[in-house]
Chains A and B, each alone.
Chain A
Amino acid sequence: MKIVVCIKQVPATTEVSIDPETKRLVREGVEIMMNPFDTYALEEGLLLREAHGGEVIAISMGPKRTEATLREALACGADRAILLNDRVLGGSDTFATSYALSRAIAKIGNVDLVITGKQAVDGDTAQVGPGIAAHLGWPQAAYVSRVIESDSKHLVLERMHETGYDVCSLELPGVITVLKDINSPRVPTLKGRLASRKASINIWNASAISADLTKIGLNGSPTRVVATRSPDARDKHTIILDGSPEESARELVKILKQRIKL
């Protein structure tokens, strides 16, 4: 099974700031990490490879320093890594990002399965996985919490929604986006870490993936962020109840009654 796992490098904090000029995120000096949901995507890829053979290819799009996150994927056991890196890819929204990733997947060739995390914890859109599927014309299953059965032609899986689960059969090639519940990601071995430092990462630019330049980067992105602001400050006044349990309960029930009426 040839599996592509899409990985995003995200800030390790949500305490982020926006450059007032460019309206882009200030990335300088911010600690980074692998998007938490992608660690589950990677682990699922590794588990499927262990069951069926084949290879796991980690792919990301971003600036050069994204290599560090791809090396982590290699340390965990990914067979190889590809970084889409080109200035013309900068500023891509979810449409353009999923297009560029789909072009890279097409270039890799003969891919059976693409796995992404449910969403990235910085943008929180959950749109790139389904976007890749649509660009490739492949079926998708989002919010996957369990792979029940798998072979080279299909997966039987469980996807979660607000009021339960659907059991689905997905014919490959296809795309799944996974939840945290699906597995417990492994920790890289020391040997893996050492090997990942020396591993070479393929760097592909826009022409390497034969990208249509009208569909990538800021100019190829249908959506544009036109303003950013901090959220409305919460009413800072905190009512503190530190009496006996009976007193606190009585006071709280009064407050609850008022709020529920609203």
Chain B
Amino acid sequence: MKIDSNGSEYRDIWVLAELVGDDIHRVTFELLGVARNLASKLSKVKNREEEVVCVVLGSGLSEESRKRLFAGYADKLIIVDDEALRVFNDNIHAAVVSRLVRKYRPEVLISGATSRGRSVMPRVAVEVETGLTADCTGLDIDEDSGLLLQTRPAYGGNIIATIKCENYRPQMSTVRPGVFKLPEADFSRTGVVVQEELTEEEKVSRLRVLEEQTIEDATVNLSDAKIIVTGGRGVKGPDGFKVIEEFARAIGGAVGASRAAVDSGWISYAHQVGQTGQTVQPKIYIACGVSGQIQHLVGMQSSDFIIAINKDSEAPIMKLADVAIVGDLFEVIPEIVKLVRRDDELKKAV
């Protein structure tokens, strides 16, 4: 919505919660922590109290979940509880969020840059006519204008851009999961609950979710993984990936793959890291038998700590890595796994 004067009718920082089944996705708590920080800064600039509002669309949100959201620094919950919201439907979710935005006029609206967040937020932005910045890795409030400063990588992380949305509200961003630290929960906090209803019109959708297939295996979920062990061409075949998988399980990580490995049919596309796969940013990225072509590097170079295992000490990945192990992955990995399994301290930590 385009603002005419100073836009003072817009207030508060909204976080769109993401539910996974009956549970709340970790990114929601990361965002509430960020939102708390933004709200404090914005309160100072505007010289009035700005709140953190968490919008929850779902079915049967438990009392326990409400408590956790307040403990995670939400001041207010806007809950829309309806059976039609049990599964994720871009169209229904976007319609509801858009209506709430028009009704309450938030200053800022953020969600996780998950596949769901990135499906629903562009729809909301268009429906309410405002800007949206994708996959942010930094959010701040400008101390003079009170505007949201949105930082994001582009061109595979080779450029970091700061983006503003000056004349439209709300200022909207999707935020990359795992970038912001989880704030410590404070269970002494309480807050206000506002219930909203889904309208009959909103329940009608030309998209229907017929079936949900959840893969329980944690080695598949790259975006939530703190550690990713990736296999490349050097893994040599599907059997080689068993070694990678064993390594990942031993240290509590997910399994990644280079494009070469996926295109050879050694492992499914859900594991592909890189330009035509997923962009990941784990705490520890371990590349095994990956040469490190630029299309792969752009998908993982923002990882906090990079370990490479490769026979070729001159491979590009070895130059990017914090730790470069020169050697045969089939000899090195079993040794690592052996040590990890023996190490009680490490076993507990993962």
How far, in angstroms, from A257 to B323 measured CA to CA in the complex? 14
- Taking CB atoms and an 8 Å cut-off, the chain B residues in 194-236 that contact chain A are 205-215, 220-224, 227
Complex contact B156–A121 (CB within 8 A): yes
**Do A253 and B122 touch across chains, with their CB atoms under 8 A apart?**
no
Report the separation of the CA atoms of residues A221 and B322 in the bound assembly, to the nearest whole angstrom: 40
Q: Cβ of B206 and Cβ of A142 under 8 Å apart?
A: no
Chain-B contact segment, one of A44-52, A129-137, A189-197, A201-209: A129-137
B207 touches A253 (CB 8 A): no
Partner among B114, B269, B338 whose Cβ is within 8 Å of the Cβ of A181: B269
Main secondary structure, interface of A, reads mixed
Q: How far is the CA of A139 from the CA of B93 in the complex (A)?
A: 12
Bound CA–CA A118/B69 (angstroms): 32
Q: How far, in Å, is B270 (CB) from chain A's closest CB?
A: 7
Q: Is B90's beta carbon under 8 Å from chain A? A: yes
| Chain A residues with CB under 8 A of B90 | 130, 139-142
Query: Counting CB contacts under 8 A, is B10 at the interface?
Result: no
A151 within 8 A of partner (CB) = no
| CB of B183 closer than 8 Å to a CB of A | no
Given known contacts A14-B294, A16-B155, A224-B164, A238 and B116 CB-to-CB distance under 8 angstroms: no
Q: Are B91 and A255 neighbours in the complex by a CB distance under 8 Å?
A: no
Q: Is A60 an interface residue (CB 8 A)?
A: no
Per-position 1/0 for A74-110, Cβ under 8 A of B: 0000000000000000000111001100000000000
**Cβ 8 A contact of B214, one of A99, A131, A164, A167:** A164
Contact: B339 with A250, CB < 8 Å? yes
Residues of B within 8 A of A94 (CB): 122, 132, 134
Q: Give the docked Cα–Cα distance between A193 and B142 (Å).
A: 52
- CB closest residue in chain A, given B153: A231
Q: Within 8 Å of chain B (Cβ to Cβ): is A187?
A: no
A230 to B156, CA, bound (A): 12
Which residues of the partner chain A approach B209 to less than 8 Å between Cβ atoms? Answer: 166-168
Residues of the B chain whose Cβ atoms lie less than 8 Å from the Cβ of A255? 307, 323
Pair B340/A231 contact, Cβ less than 8 Å: no
B287 to chain A, nearest CB (A): 13
The interface residues of chain A lying within 8 Å CB-to-CB of B346 are 253, 256-257, 260
Chain A residues contacting B157 (CB-CB under 8 Å) are 231
| CB-contacts of A16-51 with B (<8 A) | 16, 18, 36-37
A126 at the binding interface (Cβ < 8 Å): yes
In the assembled complex, B20 has its CB within 8 A of some CB on chain A: yes
Residues of B within 8 A of A165 (CB): 212-213, 215
Q: Which residues of B are interface residues toward A (Cβ below 8 A)?
A: 20, 87-88, 90-91, 94, 114-116, 118-123, 125-127, 129-135, 149, 153-168, 205-215, 220-224, 227, 251, 268-270, 272, 275-277, 279, 283-284, 294, 298, 301-302, 305, 307, 313, 318-328, 331-332, 335-336, 338-340, 343, 345-346, 349-350
13 contacts between A and B (CB under 8 A): A13-B294, A14-B298, A126-B134, A127-B134, A164-B213, A167-B209, A171-B206, A179-B269, A227-B162, A240-B324, A248-B332, A259-B283, A261-B349
